A and B are shown apart, each in its own frame.
Chain A
Amino acid sequence: MATHDYRIDFPILNPQNNDKPIIYLDTACQSLRPRQVIEAMNRYYTKFPACSGRSNHQLAATVTRLMDEARQQMARFLGASRMEEIVFTRNTTEAINLVANAYDFQTGDTVLIGGKEHNSNLIPWQMLVKRRGIHLKILPPLSDGSFDLPGFEQAISGGVKLVSFGYTSNLDGVTLPVEQIIKLAHKRGALVMLDAAQAAPQRKVNVRALDVDFLALSGHKILGPSGTGVLYGKYKLLDAMNPFMVGGDTVATSTYETCEFLPVPEKYEAGLQDYAGVIGLGEAARYLQAVGFDAIQKQELLLNKIMTEGTIDMQGLHLIGPADPALRSGIFTFYIDGIDSHRIALMLDQMANICVRSGQHCVHSWFNANGIKGSVRASAYFYNTEEEAELFVENLIKIRKVL
């Protein structure tokens, strides 16, 4: 089955549901959802709209079972050794905040992050600098956007508590050599957290094989519902940490003075959860595994190649990241001298219903450090076709000619 044969599962891509055919090249922001995910969520709302784990009636029992299945599904998806290592969050940002706030960082501890991190993996640490007096070290990428391994070795030599990197960059699609990073970090006694928001949609992630300590991802980037995410953490580490948000569903019992927390993962999942979302997330993981990551990567490369080669000679166009599309997953980020990135995005939308992202893509720090105002990001996925990538190129050329 060719990857774009799956298009039929995505309602917005189905011409019968949309009189204005959309070319969706903004998957790095949020992926589309197949009907299987939507139906799984609808089933919750229509057939068993109840609480999980609290009530004893038949509806609650169904939800509890499906929540467990979703957790099991996510554990399999990430290759976790036990389902308790999967904590459901609202998104990657919340997962990283959970670690930043729940892990016992002390004054003087050092956290090392990359130079083109999403704000989600920057601001929580900046807050810790202010609140707990940690040191925040930044490791800039090389000029082509690739990872500076020698620089990393040098950076961790000074004693680092935690290394937190974006696995695949949402800015330029570059994937880090995480196996080497984790080995080197562990050798120096540092924990490693990966922001896998962009990696999880396009490559098989095996947390056990990687031996990563924490890993965060968002449901909305892996065909799942928005408002869902996962924090994977090694059981030992999660068990040792104190919960970040507390309240309902995090405790076994309480008195007026104290409380007894539930074990991992419940102690991190405060309040009533997004049951429909989590069930949908489990379905999304199942769907993605059925498509297969090899096929996804193959299609992403094909599309990125069309976009890259089609615009290679465009006057004033600057590609962000390495020239080789094979190193940028499905992401094609660029800016054109003298042309506002928002204008390009809006024009693509007006001209051919091409949805791309423009601006600084939540990586303001990198743009400010490099003196670049903004960029356009086209991010293709397995449900995009070669014709769509060609149309993107065709319209971009037209814009360049006019502006």
Chain B
Amino acid sequence: MFCIVAAVVLSILGIFSAANRRLAKEALDCVFRRITFRPCNTGFDEKMKAKILGKMINRSEGTARFLNKNFEVLAWIFFVLMLVSSVFLVRSLYLFYTTGSCNGANDAGFCVFDPTGEHNETSSTAEGACPVPANITDEGGGLTLNGVDLNLWPVKNTESEDQFIFIGCYSCDYTRKVYPDIRRLVDEFQPEFFFGEYPTKLKTDYLSRIGYCVYNQDQEKYWHMNDAFFAQDIAFLEDVSATHAILTNLGLDADDIEACAAEPETEEEVQNLFEEIRNTNFYGTPTIFINGEPLVGPKPFRVYAIQLEGLFYWLK
């Protein structure tokens, strides 16, 4: 058993050191002989045992005696632990690949492949222009589309079988971070794409009303407007004149749009949309539902692609 544990550990260490590479080779040879029911003739296990005991005996004779007596049992324990941790490692790798988190979708627990937890970061909505209700926790379990009326949401590619619902805000860092990937995804895979803009900063909440008016006036230009807002420097989003210029550049009547945005009916419709967005129980942006599966935080492109097209999306 010791050979197997040592072969794995030394193979990993061997990546960095030539001395360990030689030992790893001996250990692998030993493993090969053992699994073919032959005795290990490299003396590897003896050698390693002697080295360990030799180091230990100078520190504590009792511990060395215990180690010597229970070496095989300890080797078995380490083997089982290694097996279990290997299973967890493979599971973590799989989950990281498919959900962007070692612990499963939207679980913000520590992940060695994403040590800063970047893939689960969200912009808080708690103190924004439209704070979400305080009873919604950030565990992710409550995220749902049940009872959510999508008729109020801007949408494109309505004929697609796949559904992609994106909740974000123009001025949120993580929404801005993930937006280029989502744009690429929508272009490549053409899912039915809903965008729920939920402002988290008071000074940019007017953009929601602008967006509502633009969408009602020209749906195609609405998506171009989104591109422009996400490309715009975040500081200028609060600047009404900069927004005016964007609208003008898109060939829209900016004065007309601004007038529409100022109407009470617009505010009412936008609030209705916010209400529907809140009905998803989301707690931060970006939040995305792909065919009903919620994903919170800026995930890598592959995670969204896998949800839409399966594990081997890149083959399609």
The 30 sampled A-B contact pairs (Cβ below 8 Å) are A342-B46, A342-B47, A342-B50, A343-B46, A343-B49, A343-B50, A343-B53, A344-B50, A345-B50, A346-B47, A346-B50, A346-B51, A346-B54, A347-B50, A347-B57, A348-B54, A349-B54, A350-B50, A350-B53, A350-B54, A351-B57, A398-B57, A398-B61, A401-B61, A401-B65, A402-B53, A402-B57, A402-B61, A402-B68, A403-B68
From B55, B61, B65, contact of A350 by CB (8 A): B55
Q: How far is the CA of A349 from the CA of B58 in the complex (A)?
A: 12
Question: Does A239 lie at the interface of the complex (its beta carbon under 8 Å from any beta carbon of B)?
Answer: no
Q: Is the CB of A402 within 8 A of B50?
A: no
Chain B positions within 8 Å of A342 at CB level: 43, 46-47, 50
Beyond A351-B57, A399-B57, 16 additional contacts (C-beta under 8 Å) are A342-B43, A342-B46, A342-B47, A342-B50, A344-B50, A346-B46, A347-B54, A348-B54, A350-B50, A350-B55, A351-B54, A398-B57, A402-B53, A402-B57, A402-B61, A402-B64
Chain A positions within 8 Å of B58 at CB level: 351
Q: How far is the CA of A344 from the CA of B57 in the complex (A)?
A: 12
Which residues of chain B from 56 to 96 have a CB within 8 Å of any chain A CB?
57-58, 61, 64-65, 68
Chain A positions within 8 Å of B47 at CB level: 342, 346
A392: min CB distance to chain B, Å: 14
Q: Count of chain A residues with Cβ under 8 Å from any Cβ of B?
A: 16
Interface of A is mostly: helix
Chain A positions within 8 Å of B50 at CB level: 342-347, 350
Q: How far is the CA of A401 from the CA of B53 in the complex (A)?
A: 12
Question: Does A148 lie at the interface of the complex (its beta carbon under 8 Å from any beta carbon of B)?
Answer: no
In the complex, the chain B residue whose C-beta lies closest to that of A403 is: B68
Chain A positions within 8 Å of B68 at CB level: 402-403
Q: How far is the CA of A348 from the CA of B51 in the complex (A)?
A: 9
Question: Does A340 lie at the interface of the complex (its beta carbon under 8 Å from any beta carbon of B)?
Answer: yes
Determine the interface band of chain B, counting residues with CB < 8 A from chain A. Answer: 10 to 19
Which residues of chain B from 255 to 279 have a CB within 8 Å of any chain A CB?
none
Q: How far is the CA of A115 from the CA of B245 in the complex (A)?
A: 104
Chain B positions within 8 Å of A402 at CB level: 53, 57, 61, 64-65, 68
Q: How far is the CA of A344 from the CA of B53 in the complex (A)?
A: 10
Q: How far is the CA of A348 from the CA of B54 in the complex (A)?
A: 7
In the complex, the chain A residue whose C-beta lies closest to that of B50 is: A346
B17-56 to A contact mask, C-beta < 8 Å, 1/0: 0000000000000000000000000010011011101110
Q: How far is the CA of A399 from the CA of B43 in the complex (A)?
A: 19
A-B pair count, CB < 8 Å, reads: 43
Q: How far is the CA of A347 from the CA of B48 in the complex (A)?
A: 10
* Residue ranges of A at the interface with B (Cβ–Cβ < 8 Å): 340, 342-351, 398-399, 401-403
B92: min CB distance to chain A, Å: 36
Interface of B is mostly: helix
Q: How far is the CA of A350 from the CA of B58 in the complex (A)?
A: 9
Q: How far is the CA of A344 from the CA of B58 in the complex (A)?
A: 14
B312: min CB distance to chain A, Å: 50
Q: How far is the CA of A342 from the CA of B51 in the complex (A)?
A: 11
Which residues of chain B from 142 to 182 have a CB within 8 Å of any chain A CB?
none
Chain B positions within 8 Å of A351 at CB level: 54, 57-58
In the complex, the chain B residue whose C-beta lies closest to that of A359 is: B43
A359: min CB distance to chain B, Å: 10
Q: How far is the CA of A14 from the CA of B43 in the complex (A)?
A: 33
Q: How far is the CA of A399 from the CA of B57 in the complex (A)?
A: 8
In the complex, which of the residues B49, B64, B65 has the most CB atoms of chain A within 10 Å of its own CB atom?
B64
B117-148 to A contact mask, C-beta < 8 Å, 1/0: 00000000000000000000000000000000
In the complex, the chain A residue whose C-beta lies closest to that of B63 is: A402
Q: Is the CB of B43 within 8 A of A347?
A: no
A351: min CB distance to chain B, Å: 5
Q: How far is the CA of A316 from the CA of B306 in the complex (A)?
A: 66
In the complex, the chain B residue whose C-beta lies closest to that of A352 is: B58
In the complex, which of the residues A346, A349, A403 has the most CB atoms of chain B within 10 Å of its own CB atom?
A346
Q: Are A347 and B53 CB-contacts (below 8 A) given A342-B46, A403-B68?
A: yes
Chain A positions within 8 Å of B49 at CB level: 343
B46: min CB distance to chain A, Å: 5
In the complex, the chain B residue whose C-beta lies closest to that of A340 is: B46
A239: min CB distance to chain B, Å: 48
Chain B positions within 8 Å of A344 at CB level: 50
B276: min CB distance to chain A, Å: 71
Chain A positions within 8 Å of B64 at CB level: 402
Chain B positions within 8 Å of A340 at CB level: 46
In the complex, the chain B residue whose C-beta lies closest to that of A398 is: B57
B45: min CB distance to chain A, Å: 10
Chain B positions within 8 Å of A343 at CB level: 46, 49-50, 53
Q: How far is the CA of A403 from the CA of B49 in the complex (A)?
A: 11
A13: min CB distance to chain B, Å: 22
In the complex, the chain A residue whose C-beta lies closest to that of B60 is: A402
A153: min CB distance to chain B, Å: 43
Q: How far is the CA of A350 from the CA of B59 in the complex (A)?
A: 12
Q: How far is the CA of A350 from the CA of B55 in the complex (A)?
A: 6
Q: How far is the CA of A351 from the CA of B47 in the complex (A)?
A: 14
Q: How far is the CA of A351 from the CA of B46 in the complex (A)?
A: 16
A98: min CB distance to chain B, Å: 34
In the complex, the chain A residue whose C-beta lies closest to that of B58 is: A351
In the complex, which of the residues A344, A350, A398 has the most CB atoms of chain B within 10 Å of its own CB atom?
A350
In the complex, the chain B residue whose C-beta lies closest to that of A395 is: B57
A398: min CB distance to chain B, Å: 6
Chain B positions within 8 Å of A399 at CB level: 57
B209: min CB distance to chain A, Å: 76
A316: min CB distance to chain B, Å: 15
In the complex, the chain B residue whose C-beta lies closest to that of A348 is: B54
Chain B positions within 8 Å of A349 at CB level: 54
A333: min CB distance to chain B, Å: 19
A294: min CB distance to chain B, Å: 37
Chain B positions within 8 Å of A346 at CB level: 46-47, 50-51, 54
Q: How far is the CA of A192 from the CA of B46 in the complex (A)?
A: 42
Q: How far is the CA of A399 from the CA of B65 in the complex (A)?
A: 9
Chain A positions within 8 Å of B54 at CB level: 346-351
Q: How far is the CA of A399 from the CA of B61 in the complex (A)?
A: 9
Q: How far is the CA of A351 from the CA of B68 in the complex (A)?
A: 15
A273: min CB distance to chain B, Å: 34
A131: min CB distance to chain B, Å: 31
Q: How far is the CA of A349 from the CA of B65 in the complex (A)?
A: 18
A340: min CB distance to chain B, Å: 5
Q: How far is the CA of A398 from the CA of B68 in the complex (A)?
A: 13
In the complex, which of the residues A344, A398, A403 has the most CB atoms of chain B within 10 Å of its own CB atom?
A403
